[in-house]
Amino acid sequence: MRSRKNHFTTDCFKRVFDYSLALFLMVMLSPLFLLVIVLQFFFFGRPLLFKQIRPGKDAKPFAIMKFRTMSLEKDAEGNLLPDAQRLTKWGRFLRASSLDELPQLINILRGEMSFIGPRPLLMSFLEHYSDTQMRRHEVLPGITGWAQVNGRNNLTWEKRFELDVEYVDNRSLLFDIKILILTAVKIFKRDGIAYTEPMFDGSSHNISK
């Protein structure tokens, strides 16, 4: 485990790196952003974005942003259909290519997220964490993380949180670069794509998908 002083230095440099890279990508990818927005409007209409309150650093709530990947179709009683029925081909493409995550660059510029860190999950999960698992909130949540590049779809929640805490204890700029490279490889191979995710109720047997 690294010292608090080393972690403080790492976190300071990481914030500069995150902000600089996010700003650079926002400018460089602006044509892609515009294209996705146009296609998003064509396939889904408004709202273009999916926003949901998630716990950030120190479990402080923030609104995570993604391009919407599901329709708003409802049943005869006015209730939204199950996720699997609302996920369209366009939505699957957005998730498979990770283009749905692009708006999270704004979350990074706001200081609410990082490129690398434990994925921000649902607020309702907080009540089920053990003290050790809760430590995943000692750092900013990330677009990708150590658990995501280590077989996310085949991990129990317990193992996933163990990897999150391992990242918290051993974080460094070199570690982040390693995770970024592994993430790029997974995206290129379309490996470990998760279209839906089960709820966490504190049971170690739950599988994260």
Residue pLDDT tens, the chain, 209 long: 566 667 888 888 899 999 999 999 999 999 999 999 999 999 988 899 999 999 999 999 999 999 999 988 887 787 888 878 888 899 999 988 889 999 999 999 999 999 999 999 999 999 999 999 999 999 999 999 999 999 876 789 999 999 999 999 999 989 999 999 999 888 877 665 554 566 676 655 454 43
CB-based burial label for 98 (10 Å; 0-12, 13-18, 19+): middle
User: What is the DSSP code (8-state) at residue 202?
Assistant: S
What Cα–Cα distance (Å) separates residue 130 from each residue in 14, 121, 167?
Answer: 27, 15, 17
Strand partners, 208: 155
Domains in the chain: boundaries: 4-208
pTM for the full predicted model = 0.85
Ranges of H-type helices in the chain? 4-28, 30-43, 83-86, 89-97, 104-109, 157-170, 173-189
* Residue carrying structure tokens 């995206």: 187
